[in-house]
Amino acid sequence: MRLMALFLSICLAGCAQQVPLATANQAQQTNAVVQPPIRAKAPQIPPQIFATAAAVPDLAELSQLTAAQQQDFLSYFHDPLYAGQKPEYRLYSYMQNVLAVFQFNGNTTSASEVMRTGSANCVSLALLTKALADVADIEVRFRATYREPVIDIRGDLLLQATHVRSYLNADPDSSMISPLYIDYFRGPISYQGDFLSDARFFATVFNNLAAEALLRGELDQAYALIQTSLQQDDQFVPAINLMAVLLRRQQQPELAQQWYQYGLAIAPQQLALLNNYQVLAIQLGDQPLVQQLEQQLALADSDDPFELYIQAVQAEQAGREALAISFYQRLQKRVPYLLQANQALVRHYLKNHQYQAARQLLEQALEYSYEPEKRSLLEHKLTMLRTM
């Protein structure tokens, strides 16, 4: 079964730039007035496609604390014991106390619910941080971070979680980033992505809620939440991708195709869009489109290098070995220490009797590997290869 890439946590498709669908005809004379580009417009979905869903939570409901929760935080914040600390350090310390006993799960919940239950996901912790920062009048900005991928397969959906950092009192007009940040997951990060505007952040929150509704089979509710996400940021590619996936589930392939085309007008190299659009093209039996998308996939790239890993896994699942090897090779050039990718690529090289390529890859991977367990595994494989 072909797998579709669907992202449930913070997910960036690149900068929040607005890419035009088409441009006005260029005047051929040098003194002619050049018209501005035409902005891509989202395809219309007839109202009868989805039923009326339950009410969608509003921004205030998601990002506000109860009066008692605010008072608990302010009692800590204004405690004389911390009077010598800057406000952002007091917020940082409070969040560290929250994280010390926090239980992670896959649910996106409001800030007040996070405080009540002490469990949720990364996005919910970011909502809590923003709610506390608003109470204390502290500037908070969010930035995507990329770590070694953790993949979850549910039915015909392949899910990847990405992560976010919160920066406290970081000057948005300065190239200097505040050193004070909150990491919701321990361990090293591999790449840092873009900062999120408030619109992009809240679009992400609603898109997470929509993805969770889709996984529960609540298609009408998922649709309402995606609409709300796109109201925050109408060019948020993960929400566009999710809308197309949802329409395909709703047996609306033509509408799904329109949404994939809309997404690719905004982000022509977005890997998840290209892959999922190809799944739809195969379903429609449109072989020329399948081949066109195959060529685009082979050349596409991503701000998140681990998307290449996801595409490689999907290509392997579909029996497309050459494409999988291409993705693994491109990933290895960007993240040469990723053990999963190195192991997979060595497996393909050995299958094709490319022993020298396998040895060279393992030797390079050892140069970037510092963890004893991983080094031991790589050295063992390299020793075996040198006897072949």
Position 35 in a domain: no
Cβ neighbors of 108 (< 8 A, separation 6 or more) are 120, 121, 123, 124, 205, 208, 209, 212
Cβ contact 272:301 at 8 Å: no
Position 172 in a domain: yes
For β-strands 191-196 and 140-146, DSSP reports them as antiparallel
Low-confidence ranges of the chain (pLDDT < 50): 1-38
Cβ contact 15:170 at 8 Å: no
For β-strands 4-7 and 157-160, DSSP reports them as parallel
Q: How does DSSP classify residue 172?
A: T
- The residue type found at 37 is P
Position 378 in a domain: no
For β-strands 103-104 and 119-120, DSSP reports them as parallel
Position 218 in a domain: yes
pTM of the model: 0.80
Cβ neighbors of 23 (< 8 A, separation 6 or more) are 35, 37, 38
Interatomic CA distance for residues 311 and 3, integer angstroms: 10
Predicted pLDDT of residue 156 = 63
Position 178 in a domain: yes
Position 72 in a domain: yes
Report the 3 state secondary structure along 60-109. HHHHCCCHHHHHHHHHHHCCHHHCCCCHHHHHHHHHHHHHHCCEECCCCC
Interatomic CA distance for residues 386 and 355, integer angstroms: 9
Predicted pLDDT of residue 151 = 57
Helix, strand, coil percentages (3-state) for the chain, rounded to 5, are 55, 10, 35
Domain extent for 235: 4-14+44-304
Assigned token pair, 291: 């081949």
Residue 160 pairs in a beta bridge with 7, 151
Position 350 in a domain: no
- State the CATH number of the domain containing residue 286: 1.25.40.10
Predicted pLDDT of residue 104 = 85
Interatomic CA distance for residues 108 and 144, integer angstroms: 17
Predicted pLDDT of residue 21 = 29
Interatomic CA distance for residues 197 and 204, integer angstroms: 11
Position 38 in a domain: no
Total number of domains constituting the chain:
1
List the one residue out of 372, 356, 353 whose CA is nearest residue 364.
356
pLDDT in tens, 7-34: 333 333 222 222 222 222 323 333 334 3
List the one residue out of 272, 286, 284, 217 whose CA is nearest residue 242.
272
Predicted pLDDT of residue 191 = 64
What is the per-residue burial (b if ≥16 Cβ within 10 Å, else e) of 106-122?
bbbbbbbbbbeeeebbb
List the one residue out of 113, 104, 118, 107 whose CA is nearest residue 131.
113
